[in-house]
Amino acid sequence: MSESLLFTILIISAIGIASAVILYITARKFYVYEDPRIDRVEEALPSANCGGCGYAGCRAFAESIVKDNTLENKFCPVGGNEVMDNVAQIMGLVAEQNAPRTAVVRCNGTCEHRPKTKHYEGVQTCAIAAMHYGGETDCSYGCLGFGDCCVVCDFDAIHMNPSTGLPEVDDEKCVACGACVKACPKNLIELRKQMPKYRKIYVACRNTDKGGPAKKACSVACIGCSLCEKECKYDAITIANNLAFIDSDKCKLCRKCVAVCPTHAIIEENFPPPKEKPVGENKPEAAEA
């Protein structure tokens, strides 16, 4: 009895020691040096694995930073400048300062602004609908309303509003990873510079048709009249292909363009309600400028 017990212990121990030796030798022979900074950089990143930086995930981004040993054109939109500064500290480099961005949907073609003229009953995704048709309305540039952008958002930051049929961005949740920008077959979503209190002024239209047909298809279409371009003191507005574009890096949120737009294609968001305008607005505006 005791003999068999002894044998068992001996054999198991012998196997254990032999395995340990093999493992030790293998580990030595096949040792791959990995920069310890990769792990530290990865730890500093937010672990969202959203791909907003342009790499397959946080690990791949960390590897690329360490491998290239530079922070040029490398930015984590989720973590922002704070995280990039931490990464820079680990790497002993200086991070580029990027203004935080947020997504906006450049279409305001709600049911009353843009009446439906056709009926699509195929597969209910934007990608397939856009491949087959210009959409259910006469505007072939606008939102299709099947919500591909909401499906791809990892941060629960964009939702379809059932009453307007358009997606709406939750500014507090949006990290500007750009997943929705890639998902939209109509290129309607744009990442714009985040302004204080999430204030936004943008052209909610991508219609490049001439004024007449554009206005006929949708009452709030940009007709490329260039009134806003003339009104803007900061050269933030440019007109190309019958469509206005407001550069968020130059815009000072003066809202003059909103007032002159004849079709109300320029939208202001998160500003105080119009009644308090003369009192409430001027002070912070002056401070920002």
Partner 1 sequence: MLKTFKKGGVHPPENKRSADKSIEALPQPDIATILVAQHIGAPSKILVSKGETIRVGQLIAQSSGFVSTNIHSSVSGKVARIDTVSDVSGYKKEAVIIQVAGDEWLDTIDRSDELITESILDARAITDKILEAGIVGLGGATFPTHVKLMPPPGMKAEVLIINGVECEPFLTSDHRLMLEKGEEILVGTRLLMKALGVKRAVIGIENNKSDAIRNFRILGAKYPGIEVCALRVKYPQGGEKQLIKAVTGREVPSGALPVAVGAVVNNVGTVFAVYEAVMKNKPLIERIVTVTGNSLSKPSNFKVRIGSPVRQLIDAAGGLPDDTARVISGGPMMGKALPSVDVPVSKGTSGILVLSEKEGHRKAVKNCIRCGRCVGVCPMGLEPYLLMTLSEKRLWEKAEAEKVMDCIECGSCSFTCPSNRPLLDHIRLGKLSVGNLIRSRK
List residues near partner 1 by CB under 8 A: 117-118, 121-123, 127-128, 131-135, 138, 140, 209
Cβ proximity of 177 and 157 under 8 Å: no
The residues near 272 (Cβ < 8 Å, ≥ 6 apart) are 280, 281
Least Å distance, CB 234 to partner 1, is: 33
Considering the complex, state which of residue 40 and residue 182 has its C-beta at the smaller distance from partner 1: 182
Least Å distance, CB 256 to partner 1, is: 32
Least Å distance, CB 141 to partner 1, is: 9
Burial class of residue 59, CB neighbours in 10 A (0-12, 13-18, 19+): middle
Considering the complex, state which of residue 10 and residue 131 has its C-beta at the smaller distance from partner 1: 131
Sequential DSSP letters for 234-256: SS-EEEETTEEEE-TTT-----H
Question: 169 pairs with which residues across the strands?
Answer: 158
Least Å distance, CB 133 to partner 1, is: 4
Least Å distance, CB 107 to partner 1, is: 16
Considering the complex, state which of residue 80 and residue 135 has its C-beta at the smaller distance from partner 1: 135
End-to-end CA distance of the chain: 91
* Plot region of 235 (φ>0 → left; ψ -120 to 50 → alpha; else → beta): left
Considering the complex, state which of residue 210 and residue 277 has its C-beta at the smaller distance from partner 1: 210
To 10 degrees, what angle do helices 36-44 and 80-91 make? 160
Considering the complex, state which of residue 130 and residue 254 has its C-beta at the smaller distance from partner 1: 130
Q: What angle do CA 101, 278, 249 make, to 5 degrees?
A: 20
